[in-house]
């Protein structure tokens, strides 16, 4: 009997000692859909593919950093541009997962489509180990994105009015070329010069390519950049009108919005007057 009780106590003690290890393992996990990512596996992937830019400690000070026109993300600071969550909050695991698969246009961050879903989830789990924010803060709740209203000329025209009223032109320029009067003065959270997006030359945005993605950019902002959140400034329907108008500024991207806008005299004259030049980061010389 005593022997049985002794064995029970030994098993109980072993289980209690194992609890911290179990907690650590759970902290090193992320869940994206049906995939569970593990930081241990992600660590191997990070030091194979990422540390050269993002640094050994994840602080963005990799040996390749000085040669890049946009500094690599500092995972220790845990400030992320592309999120589905309100400005100032942490992104969801799915946000980070999608960023790895999408990459960042106009930067040296590629789309890691060569990685499997499991590997991307593992990478997210390890990236989250760099910053203490993931222990003290929770990701924000994803913003609600209402259904997109039907496209109309009235929507485009109202979006154009909002572009002026909200002073988007001061950074993005009157024609959306990223050459507004404030463009040359803008810096990011690393105190590095940053150019506003040039709609005339781009088809993809920093955080995606769809109208849904563009809507989220308005409402969440791009943390670490001068692009603010307009969630407290404009109503959802106004945001969709702005989305529709900005699509017409992408004169090299044949969208439904541009096609409809070109059916008007004003839109046709605007597109005809555009000249290809510069890059989607706003730099370059008009040709």
- Cβ within 8 Å of residue 129, ≥6 positions away: 28, 39, 43
What dihedral do alpha carbons 15, 19, 21, 23 form, nearest 10°? Answer: 150
**pLDDT reading at 282 higher than 90:** no
d(CA 279, CA 281): 5
> Given this model, what pLDDT does residue 78 score?
96
**pLDDT reading at 285 higher than 80:** no
Say if strands 35-38 and 29-32 run parallel, antiparallel, or are unpaired. antiparallel
Over residues 68-88, the mean pLDDT reads 94
Q: Is 76 helix (H, G, I), strand (E, B) or coil?
A: coil
> Given this model, what pLDDT does residue 223 score?
96
Average pLDDT, the chain: 87
> Given this model, what pLDDT does residue 203 score?
74
> Given this model, what pLDDT does residue 262 score?
95
> Given this model, what pLDDT does residue 118 score?
98
Q: H/E element holding 4?
A: helix 2-27
> Given this model, what pLDDT does residue 24 score?
37
pTM: 0.83
pLDDT digits (tens, 9 = 90+) for 210-260: 999 999 999 999 999 999 999 999 999 999 999 999 999 999 888 999 999
Confidence category of residue 27, pLDDT binned at 50, 70, 90 = low
Over residues 36-43, the mean pLDDT reads 97
pLDDT over 70 percentage in the chain: 86
> Given this model, what pLDDT does residue 287 score?
35
Beta strand extents in the chain (DSSP E only): 29-32, 35-38
**pLDDT reading at 126 higher than 90:** yes
Q: Supply the DSSP string of 124-150, one letter for each residue.
A: HHHHTTS-THHHH--BPPPPP-PPPPP
Is the distance from CB of 140 to CB of 96 less than 8 angstroms?
no
> Given this model, what pLDDT does residue 190 score?
85
pLDDT digits (tens, 9 = 90+) for 80-103: 999 999 999 999 999 999 999 999
> Given this model, what pLDDT does residue 274 score?
81
Confidence category of residue 105, pLDDT binned at 50, 70, 90 = confident
> Given this model, what pLDDT does residue 185 score?
95
Give 208's strand partners. 205
Q: Supply the DSSP string of 242-255, one letter for each residue.
A: HHHHHHHH-TTS--
> Given this model, what pLDDT does residue 273 score?
87
**pLDDT reading at 163 higher than 80:** yes
């Amino acid at each position: 009997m005593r022997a049985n009780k002794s064995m029970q106590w030994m098993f109980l003690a072993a289980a209690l000692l194992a609890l911290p290890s179990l907690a650590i393992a759970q902290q090193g996990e992320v869940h994206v859909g049906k995939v569970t990512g593990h930081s241990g596996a992600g660590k191997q992937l990070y030091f194979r593919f990422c540390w050269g830019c993002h640094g050994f400690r994840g602080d963005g000070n990799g040996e390749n950093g000085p040669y890049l026109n946009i500094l690599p993300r500092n995972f220790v600071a845990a400030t992320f541009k592309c999120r589905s969550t309100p400005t100032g909050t942490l992104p969801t695991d799915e946000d980070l997962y999608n960023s790895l698969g999408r990459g960042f246009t106009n930067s040296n961050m590629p789309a890691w489509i060569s990685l499997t879903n499991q590997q991307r989830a593992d990478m997210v789990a390890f990236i989250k180990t760099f910053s203490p924010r993931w222990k003290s803060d929770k990701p924000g709740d994803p913003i609600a994105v209402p259904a997109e209203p039907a496209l109309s000329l009235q929507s485009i025209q109202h979006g154009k009015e909002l572009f002026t009223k909200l002073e988007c032109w001061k950074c993005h320029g009157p024609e959306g070329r990223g050459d507004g009067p404030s463009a040359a003065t803008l810096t990011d959270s690393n105190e590095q010069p940053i150019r506003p997006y040039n709609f005339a030359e781009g088809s993809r945005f920093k955080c995606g390519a769809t109208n849904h993605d563009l809507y989220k950019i308005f409402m969440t902002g791009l943390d670490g950049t001068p692009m603010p959140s307009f969630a407290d400034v404009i109503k959802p329907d106004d945001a969709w009108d702005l989305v529709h108008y900005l699509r017409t500024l992408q004169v090299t991207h044949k969208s439904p919005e541009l096609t409809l806008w070109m059916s008007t005299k004003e839109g046709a004259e605007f597109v005809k007057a555009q000249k290809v030049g510069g890059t989607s980061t706003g730099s370059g010389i008009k040709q």
